[in-house]
A and B are shown apart, each in its own frame.
Chain A
């Protein structure tokens, strides 16, 4: 059984969305996350700039 399917077995979790293997892998994929690091920093700087 896949990890996310095991968790769906629990009643409290059955109506949630649980990431699959690909989504979980992308969360710690260094190349993709380096790109997201740049994007997130730009987005945060914009919000910080609007708040001062």
Chain B
């Protein structure tokens, strides 16, 4: 019997573990180590953050689902890897620290034959002074990164709405909390959902809403933007995004590195090197992401973290990490199998793998501050990568270590993205977009880097219906209800 340990129970980890458990059956063991007791459909957190959904609507308990799937579940966080074992054993193991109530703080080693690192990111609030400490959200801003954060965000939003109803004007500042953030899409959705809710509450005229982002142009989304077919034209997402901001009367500040946050005030530096301040009454800022801080040790106990992980804490995989100028970036730089180059029984999936470089053009202010989005690896790509990794590990277990590895390069896969701009069964809207491929391939698609037949976007009620249907569909799938394997990632 072989044992596969999956670190993380998010989109990538849950997909890997559940497919591996299904394909391997009871002959082998699948273990999930995740610090959370609940699964969270993160794309719907923005609706919790405006009071249109509850925490219960976007989460469910993991334990009964894993029990049904025959998966061994540890509510714990991984702290270190020993891929060669230690001085007393050749068996690789992962050290964990329980987070489960009643066992919190207890440590244990779990031996493995194969391991998949799908921990997701550390929400690195501590990278920006005043935004928070370590992975803990500070007191000056709110967040929608977790369901709990979103509940808190909605409480603050309702307070702001009450103030506006009482005649006090409010300034809303939404966007990214650092020059190296990713996940602009969540902030994009949240700012338009707030605008929609303020309109519904009849207080839109009492609100000043402003977007602040590390993107060098609106609509970059960490993917260097995209060109899509709209109304018979092929247009840049810049036009698409600017149009929506102008229509909703939301001002923007882009190319901005948030350097410090205080009570009611944000300090920033722009790409031209200038600095400034923005005051706010309500602010939601996405933190930068980092690896969760896993350490790695060799058999003799020496620290090999730098061998296994990139400096940002994400796990090295089969990407080309050679430093290159932007002009030399290639689609082929991106990983295909997500296997660690040093340890063949180790894989990474979703946000946890180290990308070879950004997708957006790297930029610095004259002061040397890097201000550009880091590449998104969430949602559909995370699920597809997780499934491909599960397939590879299952084949290695059943056919031997020489088995063919399955591939899921982000330079060869597309992604469907539905960004809500307001919730409502008849008055909601969302931008429904697809990109193909996620990482532009300028050798295959000279010009835009993507296939414009499969890269499109439009905004409307239909997009909202799709996002709403996907909410129920993916929670149904994640609960492993009948037919779950038929629903694509």
**A interface residue numbers (CB < 8 A to B):** 4, 7-8, 10, 12-13, 16-19, 24, 26-30, 33-34, 36-37, 40-41, 43-44, 46-52
Contact = CB atoms under 8 A, between A and B. Distances in A.
A34 B384 contact: no
Contacts of A43: 434, 454, 456
A40 B243 CA distance: 21
A50 B414 contact: yes
A29 B461 CA distance: 8
B251 A12 contact: yes
Interface of B: 239, 242-243, 245-247, 249, 251-252, 380, 384, 387, 413-416, 426-427, 429, 432, 434, 436, 454, 456, 458-463, 465-466, 488-489
Nearest to B455: A47
Given A30-B461, A37-B465, A40-B466, A51 B432 contact: no
Contact of B247 (A4, A28, A29): A4
19 contacts: A7-B246, A10-B249, A10-B251, A18-B247, A27-B459, A28-B427, A30-B461, A33-B460, A33-B461, A33-B465, A36-B462, A44-B432, A46-B454, A47-B454, A48-B416, A51-B384, A51-B414, A52-B387, A52-B488
A44 B434 CA distance: 7
- Report whether over half of chain A's contact residues are helix, strand or loop; otherwise say mixed: helix
Given A17-B239, A30-B461, A36-B460, 5 more contacts: A4-B247, A43-B434, A43-B454, A48-B416, A50-B454
A47 B246 contact: no
A48 B380 CA distance: 9
Contacts, number: 92
Contact of A16 (B239, B380, B414, B429): B239
Contacts of A7: 246-247, 249
Contact of A40 (B251, B415, B427, B463): B463
B466 A37 contact: yes
7 closest residue pairs by CB, A with B: A13-B246, A37-B462, A51-B413, A36-B462, A33-B461, A16-B246, A47-B414
Contacts of B380: 48, 51
Given A36-B460, A37-B466, A43-B456, A48 B429 contact: no
Nearest to B466: A40
A49 B106 CA distance: 44
B440 to A, nearest CB: 15
Given A12-B252, A44-B416, A19 B460 contact: no
Contact of A28 (B413, B434, B458, B461): B461
Interface centre among A7, A29, A36 (most CB of B within 10 A): A36
A41 B463 CA distance: 9
Given A7-B247, A7-B249, A16-B246, A44 B466 contact: yes
